[in-house]
Amino acid sequence: MARRTSLREFQLSVANRLRDLASRKTVSSKLGFQVGGENWIVNLIDVSEVIPVPQIMQVPLTRGWFRGVANVRGNLYSIADFAAFQGAEATAQGAERRVILLSERRIVGSGILIGRMLGLRNPEQLVREPDPADKPAWVRGVFRDPAGTLWKELDVEALTEDARFLEVGVAHTA
């Protein structure tokens, strides 16, 4: 008889495996995800967890890319739509959307909304491309995989130090 696994158990198992991989010094994998039509990678050590999109409460007088706050197991997280933050269209509704909770060693209580997960990627198979002239500080680099697909690498440390990312409020005039 096959053992049934609940969705919660499966998610915890995946989160634990990601944490285990991130804690190993020899791991060279990066987590791949899609935002709009772009492929991204991020260091596993900069990811706390990947979760389905929780209920997000909107916050008045905030920037359009700031989706609001979400309660994740009793902790509040600010959620930014990563596509909209970059000036693209907001992430569309869909079952593949996820929230990447950023590592607390970089920032406490923050997550980014993404279009879908693409799984682990081996950076040894990626070839660095020249940086575009308008590359934001939070893009560590641009890479091409053996299939010719471009990947941008997210520099979470630079993102969490970016004044625009940190300043979600808009000025209110009375």
CATH number of the domain bearing residue 115 = 2.40.50.180
Confidence of residue 172 (pLDDT cuts 50, 70, 90): low
In a domain, 3, yes or no: no
pTM of the model: 0.82
Specify if 132 maps to a domain. yes
Residue 18 pLDDT: 73
d(CA 18, CA 33): 14
The answer to whether residue 174 sits within a structural domain is no
Whole-angstrom Cα distance, residue 171 to residue 174? 10
Residue 149, in any domain of the structure: yes
Asked if residue 98 is part of any domain, the answer here is yes
Residue 74 belongs to domain spanning:
12-19+28-166
pLDDT tens for each residue of 13-70: 777 777 776 665 444 689 999 999 999 999 999 999 999 999 999 999 999 999 999 9
Tell me if 87 sits within 8 A of 141, measured CB to CB.
Answer: no
Output the CA–CA distances (angstroms, integers) from residue 85 to 30, 61, 91, 113, 126, in the order listed.
22, 16, 10, 10, 26
Region 148-161: what's the mean pLDDT? 96
Domains in the chain, number:
1
In a domain, 71, yes or no: yes
138 band by pLDDT with thresholds 50, 70 and 90? very high
| pLDDT higher than 90, residue 158 | yes
The order of strands in the sheet holding 139-144 is: 116-121, 30-35, 38-43, 150-154, 139-144, 127-129
The answer to whether position 1 is within a domain reads no
Domain-located, residue 6: no
